[in-house]
Homo-oligomer: A and B are copies of this chain.
Amino acid sequence: MKLPTDGFEFEVVAQDGPARCGRLTTPRAVVETPVFMPVGTQAFVKSQTPDEVAATGARIILANTYHLMLRPGSRLIARLGGTHAFMGWPFALLTDSGGFQVFSFAHRRKIDEDGVTFRSHIDGSEHRLTPERSMQIQAELGSDIAMVLDECPEGTADRLTVEQAVRRSTAWAERCLAYEKKTGQARFGIVQGSTFVDLRLSHLETLSAMPFDGIALGGFSVGEPISEMYRALSDIGPRMPIELPRYLMGVGTPIDLLHAVGAGLDMFDCVLPTRNARNGQALTWSGRVNIKQARNRDDLSPLDDRCDCPVCKSFSRAYLRHMAIAGEMLVARLMTQHNLYFYADLMRRIREAIREGRFQAFARETEKRMREQDEVGR
């Protein structure tokens, strides 16, 4: 069950149906899975200090190769001691390969068998990303876990397009593994195949035969119906290698996480808790709260009376609403802090339920309450 590779190790410590608890060890942290990784795209989790992120319980966060290669540049970060030192984050860090961002943000991208050429969304300058270049940048960034460069077709892409992306992603994955490995940095492969489960399973089989330290599912939550994602996850998740960490990229809502954990996934990241906080939306044990709603005007209760976070202990909905209506950034940071704490707490309770063999009941009740008590739209 172990896979030590210079400081990197993963072990499954409990199972409850397909759901499982694991312990991921990197050179900088021990991470209990299932885990949600806060997104620090540009080497900061928006509005939060590293201390605050750690205080939610997070021991691994994510940063993005695409953004950091453009600004401030990976060579500058390397010269300044790597991403951990640059941003003051002492725990584990996972870097995305830049593939997904090139396909979502960059302008005038041109893909070929060797890599992808694109223009920066910041200043229009031309850049090129190949599997080797992505691994080089991630080595300069100094992350604990590097992701392979992959091609991410849109969620609505046809089968032929998806087949071609899978083929190219396989070739690129091989080249990433062939690139000189950075000591202390694990490498994860990424399964593509959209919602074509047979393509997913065959790509999974191909990547599972390669010496990766973990396997990710990319290309979900990119426009496909949510029920199709749930169905695909329950088909694919349980067939992923048992001994490796399983990472579902870019997903999702609290309810998505319950479904994905139920399918045997271990690691997650998503901008939802941080981005929605900045738009005034809190995620709670009772569903979503839109703090700007008039109902909160003179409400002295916290965002979530089941929550123990510093924000729920100190600030009323009435005060948070006052700041949100005034456009004050303090509310963005407080709601971000709450949402990250809530996600960490959700994962803590999920792990507890798995260890105690009651995950299915926990997931069912939690989803039911979140759907029934959701405040948004009422």
Contacts and interface: CB of A to CB of B under 8 A. Distances in A.
A353 to B, nearest CB: 33
A46 interface: yes
B329 A333 contact: yes
Interface in A230-288: none
A117 interface: no
B326 A329 contact: no
Interface string A60-90: 0000000000011000100110000011100
Chain A, interface residues (CB within 8 Å), range: 20 to 34
A315 B50 CA distance: 11
B332 A72 contact: no
B330 A332 contact: no
A330 B49 contact: yes
B298 A76 contact: yes
A314 interface: yes
A329 to B, nearest CB: 5
A319 B87 contact: yes
A86 B333 contact: no
A88 B326 contact: no
Interface in A19-60: 42-44, 46-49
Contacts of A72: 297, 318, 322, 325
Contact of A330 (B48, B86, B325, B334): B48
A12 to B, nearest CB: 36
A329 B274 CA distance: 13
Contacts of A43: 319, 322
Contact of A47 (B76, B88, B325, B333): B333
A328 interface: yes
A95 interface: no
A300 interface: yes
A323 interface: yes
B88 A322 contact: no
A170 interface: no
B88 A46 contact: no
A316 B85 CA distance: 10
Given A43-B319, A49-B334, A76-B318, 11 more contacts: A44-B326, A46-B330, A47-B328, A47-B330, A48-B330, A72-B297, A72-B325, A79-B298, A80-B298, A80-B316, A88-B315
7 contacts: A42-B328, A44-B326, A44-B330, A71-B325, A72-B322, A76-B298, A88-B314
